[in-house]
């Protein structure tokens, strides 16, 4: 028997299992973290991929908009944003000519205190900060439609500047391939209808994790941002973090070319080979904020589904201190009651929030999901989870009562990051 300790919410959970059953403990590949953050940022922006250095693009008096992640994504923006502001000052850009737009997508607004947590108190004190609130129609300008019919409404705070610096981190994304890159703008700084139509393409079998070629969600995002980029100067700064939220590598430059190079590194860091799918997967999202709610936890659920056999069990450590993260997600699951019914309704009436209901419940077709969580048990039941438990051992016992004792277990302590694939 061996005891493990995995991240859970703002703390940890311990559990003890028979070590002989463990096929593999799936972790991110080991790379040496960057030692000097400031030097690494400057190195990246002065030696960019597919673009001239930022110092050759920015002129004294220029106006700059930075796009930064909200707190549902770990980006460590507070580490690099002071470096960017100081560098812009050195290039002749005043603080009053810079601003930050938080790429909320369809998430809730950030408070000033949350902005300070995200980018640092000094940064918030120096430059204007704005939420890109998808439902605030007056905050968006229209740029036409994509060939797939997605209306392009982008935040007006990006439209009146000389340069837009798109920041953030990159991980795999369950239906648009990868995070980062173009996603800072679409869906990050897009109006609700733009996001809704684009995300409707997730129902396509071609939409998937780590997939860009022929992926309609990804291609639609790329086309939409390309329309915006015709008349706007875009510069990318994306980083890749390890499971401890340390910087491993920074990528800067052209928002397409730099992102492609970064995604190859993401595959190296987060991709993981397993011998075969297991009877049971025990997985942690990686703690707060990755398990802040079911909406965010779903990414971990998708990764775990790649490691469990058909008819197996996933035991998921996800605190969900903010509950589901979406009232529409809750309502859709409660009203329709199955993945098939949810998918059928989305095909004719696609709604943001309801799409997450499909994303969550479709996974239950492959395996039962047992939650170690503080989520309300009734809510979990309505979302088709197999049960809620306070310990991994209790969840494992419930799984054994239904499926029998497992002969193989895969452990995923960094479940929101690691993407398993069967060897060969």
Of the CATH numbers 3.90.226.30, 3.30.70.260, 3.50.50.60, 3.40.1370.10, which one belongs to the domain with range 2-28+272-422? 3.90.226.30
Residue pLDDT, tens place only, 45-85? 999 999 999 999 999 999 999 999 998 888 999 999 999 99
pLDDT the model gives residue 94? 98
Mean pLDDT over residues 217-242, rounded?
97
Q: What is the pLDDT of residue 89?
A: 98
Give the pLDDT confidence score for residue 128 in this predicted structure. 98
Per residue in 300-339, pLDDT (tens digit) is 999 999 999 999 999 999 999 999 999 999 999 999 999 9
Please report the DSSP string for 188-227 in residue order.
TTB-HHHHHHHHGGGGSTT-EET--TT-HHHHHHHHHHHH
Provide the pLDDT confidence category of residue 101 given band limits of 50, 70 and 90. very high
CB-based contact 276:304 (threshold 8 Å)? no
pLDDT of residue 132: 98
CB contact at 8 A, 288 and 321: yes
pLDDT-derived band at 353 (thresholds 50, 70, 90) equals confident
- For residue 424, pLDDT beyond 80: no
pLDDT digits (tens, 9 = 90+) for 264-285: 999 999 999 999 999 999 999 9
Distinct helix (H) and strand (E) counts, the chain: 14, 21
Is residue 281 within 8 Å of residue 369, measured between CB atoms? no
The rounded distance, in Å, linking the Cα atoms of 356 and 213 is 23
DSSP 384: T
- DSSP annotation of 108 reads P
d(CA 145, CA 57): 29
Span 359-385, mean pLDDT? Answer: 97
Kindly state the tokens that stand for 284: 């942690």
Q: With CA atoms as reference, report the closest residue to 196 among 205, 186, 206.
A: 186
pLDDT value, residue 395: 98
Identify the band that residue 387 occupies on the pLDDT scale cut at 50, 70 and 90: very high
Q: For residue 73, what pLDDT is reported?
A: 84
Average pLDDT, the chain: 96
pLDDT of residue 232: 97
Write the DSSP symbol of residue 71.
T
At residue 88 the predicted structure's pLDDT band, cuts being 50, 70 and 90, is very high
Identify the three-state secondary structure at position 294. Answer: helix
User: Is the pLDDT assigned to residue 423 strictly greater than 90?
Assistant: no
Buried b (16+ CB within 10 A) or exposed e, 221-255: bbbbbebbbeebebbbbbbbbbbeeebbbbbbbbb
Q: Select the more confidently predicted residue: 244 or 368.
A: 368
Q: Is the pLDDT of residue 382 over 80?
A: yes
In this prediction, residue 243 carries a pLDDT of: 86
Architecture of domain 37-241: 3-Layer(aba) Sandwich (3.40)
The pair of three-digit structure tokens given for residue 248, joined into one six-digit string: 């491993």
Of 141, 53, 72, 67, which Cα lies nearest the Cα of 98?
67
The residue ranges of every structural domain in the chain are 2-28+272-422, 37-241
Mean pLDDT of 336-347: 95
pLDDT of residue 413: 97
pLDDT digits (tens, 9 = 90+) for 124-181: 999 999 999 999 999 999 999 999 999 999 999 999 999 999 999 999 999 999 999 9
157, 99 contact by CB (below 8 A) = yes
Q: What proportion of the chain, given as a percentage, has pLDDT over 70?
A: 100
Same CATH topology for 2-28+272-422 and 37-241? no
Which CA distances in Å does 170 have to 36, 75, 107, 246, 416? 20, 9, 18, 13, 12
pLDDT in tens, 237-255: 999 999 889 999 999 999 9
């Amino acid at each position: 028997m061996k005891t493990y300790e995995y991240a859970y919410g703002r703390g940890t959970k311990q559990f003890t299992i028979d070590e002989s059953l463990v096929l593999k403990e799936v972790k991110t590949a080991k790379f040496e973290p960057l030692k000097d953050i400031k030097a690494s940022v400057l190195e990246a922006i002065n030696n960019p991929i597919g673009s001239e250095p930022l110092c050759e693009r920015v002129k004294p008096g220029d106006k700059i908009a930075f796009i930064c992640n909200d707190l549902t994504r770990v980006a460590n923006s507070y580490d690099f944003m002071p470096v960017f502001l100081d560098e812009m000052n050195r290039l002749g850009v005043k603080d009053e000519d810079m601003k930050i737009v938080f790429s909320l997508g369809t998430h809730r607004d950030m408070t000033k205190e949350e902005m300070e947590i995200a980018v640092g108190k000094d940064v918030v004190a120096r430059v204007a900060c704005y939420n890109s609130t998808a439902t605030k129609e007056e905050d968006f300008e229209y740029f036409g439609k994509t060939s797939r019919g997605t209306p392009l409404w982008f935040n007006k705070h990006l439209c009146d500047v000389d340069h837009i610096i798109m920041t953030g981190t990159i991980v795999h994304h369950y239906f648009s391939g990868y995070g980062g890159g173009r996603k800072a703008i679409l869906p990050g700084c897009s109006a609700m209808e733009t996001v809704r139509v684009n995300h409707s393409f997730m129902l396509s079998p071609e939409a998937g994790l780590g997939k860009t070629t022929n992926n309609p969600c990804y291609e639609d995002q790329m086309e939409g941002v390309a329309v915006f980029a015709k008349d706007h100067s875009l510069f990318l700064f994306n980083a890749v973090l390890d499971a401890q939220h340390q910087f491993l590598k920074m990528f800067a430059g052209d928002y397409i070319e730099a992102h492609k190079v970064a995604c190859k590194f993401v595959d190296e860091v987060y991709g993981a080979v397993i011998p075969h799918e297991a009877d049971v997967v025990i997985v942690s999202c990686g703690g707060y904020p990755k398990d802040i709610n079911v909406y965010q936890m779903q990414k971990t659920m998708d990764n775990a589904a790649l490691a469990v056999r058909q008819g197996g069990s996933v035991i998921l450590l996800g605190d969900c201190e903010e509950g589901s993260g979406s009232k529409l997600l809750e309502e859709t699951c409660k009203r329709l009651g199955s993945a098939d019914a949810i998918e059928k309704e989305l095909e004719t009436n696609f709604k943001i929030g309801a799409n997450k209901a499909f994303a969550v419940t479709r996974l239950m077709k492959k395996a039962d999901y047992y939650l170690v969580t503080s989520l309300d048990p009734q809510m979990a039941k309505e979302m088709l989870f197999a049960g809620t438990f306070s310990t991994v051992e209790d969840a494992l016992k419930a799984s054994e009562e239904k499926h029998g004792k497992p002969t193989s277990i895969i452990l995923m302590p960094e479940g929101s990051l690691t993407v398993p694939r069967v060897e060969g």
